[in-house]
Amino acid sequence: MSKTRVPYSAVSLESPEGGRVHFTDDLHDSDAADVEDNELFDMTQSSEILEVADNDTAYYGMALSSRQRMRKRRGFWVTVVALVVFSVVGMFWLYVGGINWMQRSQKRNVILMISDGFGPASETMARNYMQKTRGLPVGYQSPLDELLVGSSRTRSSDSLVTDSAAGATAFACGLKSYNGAIGVDADKGPCGTLLEAAKLQRNMATGLVVTSRITHATPGAFSAHVAGREMEDLIAEYQVGNYSLGRVVDLMLGGGRCHFESGTSSNSSCRVDDRDLLSEAKRSGIRTLNSRHEFDKLDARGADVLPLLGTFAPSHMDYEIDRDATQQPSLAEMSEKALQVLEAATRGRNSGFFLMIEGSRIDMAAHTNDPAAHVREIIAYWDTVAAVRAYVDAHPDTVMISVSDHETGGLSVAKQLGPDYPEYRWNPQALEAAQHSIEYISLRLLPGPLQADEVHNEQSKYAFVRDTVFAKWLGIADAKHEELLAVARETDSIRLRELLSTALSDRAQLGWATHGHSAVDVNLYAYGKDAHLLRGNHENTDIGTIIEQMLDLDLSEITRMVKQDRTIQGTPAHAEAWLGRRDLDAPEHYPHIH
């Protein structure tokens, strides 16, 4: 038998080498085909015992069949390891690269609800009011109670007590700015907003629904870039598309028609210049609504509904306690209509919508320290939350976030009425009979276009205050002569409101610390897809950045695009006084509004 050069390591105990034999570089595994011809491994011809030097020599010292089985096992494990490595690499790629594609290809709806001026005490007050006046059980939970996930801090860049402009800018741009800032940073430079990025980067439909002027601080911060919140004429120009990005808001419903009407051709205009933005909007294809009738006639699921601008009052819409349902839609009705319109507009598309809804006048009632108007605004907001939650239930690709920009009024659900130790009580029933807001009442008592005919002399005014203001509109049957006389004689708007507030708040035993805002943390609510991301205590800027991440947006890119847009209004702007006097006295501030 001829000798075959073996390609493996093996030594005999009697081998003269007395050590390990190594492969040569030019030998391959195929050279082992003649291994059985090698007398070194012929176990039938020799009783020599082989000793292997290590695992490799043990392997090559095996019989061919054993080696083949081991090769199969090795091949199996190599395949398994390769698959594991491939899976890990694939998952890593999916996370760092593919996730962007997945996010952009998945339809998402984000509904951001802002309850302006609504603090934790206000939620307690409204819940207690419902329990006591509707006979609800102790365990009753409001539509918001069921969705509580955390809280939000509210400070601005220049104060521990924010205003609505800086608060909304924190949500819209994800950054801190100064009080009064509308979509600009602390250096007064434009900052890209969630609404702009949703439209331009995700091709999402966009909307704003409010009960204030649509040009007011909160909606303005999502749709404009101005250095001061009082520049509402310029905000209106942004909203109809007069800036570098063009029109980015598809739907706007609320009040504030006066900032879109020409100052020279309309009796209800509050613009300083003669621009007629309503006509400009119509020429650019924006559909306009100006009445409840037009609102009701709108086929939300019809074609060519968007873009849409609906303004249902010259200034702010009426408080819920004052609202004539035949003249103005409620916040819930406008929100439901908006959801129908936006859903129809995005049906069949891979992109959803971004909608901001604001319960605007919760804040204004608290500025006036008006507990009856405040609680009705909260309940109207609850109705809206319930409607939006029902939409989320039917559309699992949607998230609803509800948060306040700040607390207003320093409300406490208790009030000490004298020097003696106070009673532990408050009386929600004292608010139940009120029929009108303090704002409504004061405008009927003071000189102006809405002044009641009965107040033109002191005697008739006293009787009007006693029989109509207190007994009917405030629901107070035990008014004292001193209270009635003080209200009948008061001519200052702010002092009159304080007298009326005291009459209601003392009887309800509710306390107010301020006519302004406070620095208290506010409740944070969320429901739907990825709602868990909102759990815990957050800076208000976190709300914006979380939504930015949810939608895979890049606000810095939008900021670069708008950095050259003007932020100063070319015409004089009306500066707001303390107590938000312009907001409280809109018909007085604009004497030509009827």
Q: Which residue has the higher pLDDT, 23 or 561?
A: 561
Query: Three-state SS string across 359-380, please?
Result: CCHHHHHHHCCCHHHHHHHHHH
Confidence class of residue 34 from pLDDT cuts 50, 70 and 90? very low
Residue 47 has pLDDT above 90, yes or no: no
Confidence class of residue 21 from pLDDT cuts 50, 70 and 90? very low
d(CA 115, CA 360): 7
Catalytic annotation present for 164: yes
Query: Three-state SS string across 92-129, please?
Result: HHHHHHHHHHHHHHCCCEEEEEECCCCCHHHHHHHHHH
pTM score: 0.82
Predicted confidence (pLDDT) per residue in 454-488, tens digit: 888 888 999 999 999 999 999 999 999 999 999 99
d(CA 245, CA 215): 18
Of the listed ranges 32-36, 88-92, 264-268, the least confidently predicted one is: 32-36
User: Tokens 């999916």, residue?
Assistant: 94
Identified catalytic residue from 9, 142, 156, 164: 164
Q: Are 214 and 176 in contact (CB under 8 A)?
A: no
The whole-number pLDDT of residue 400 equals 98
Residue 357 has pLDDT above 70, yes or no: yes
Residue 32 has pLDDT above 90, yes or no: no
Average pLDDT, rounded, for the chain: 86
Residue 552 has pLDDT above 80, yes or no: yes
Distance of CA 408 to the CA centre of its chain: 19
Q: Are 276 and 218 in contact (CB under 8 A)?
A: no
Q: Are 295 and 289 in contact (CB under 8 A)?
A: yes
The whole-number pLDDT of residue 266 equals 73
Q: Where are the alpha helices (DSSP H) in 3-162?
A: 55-60, 64-93, 99-105, 120-134
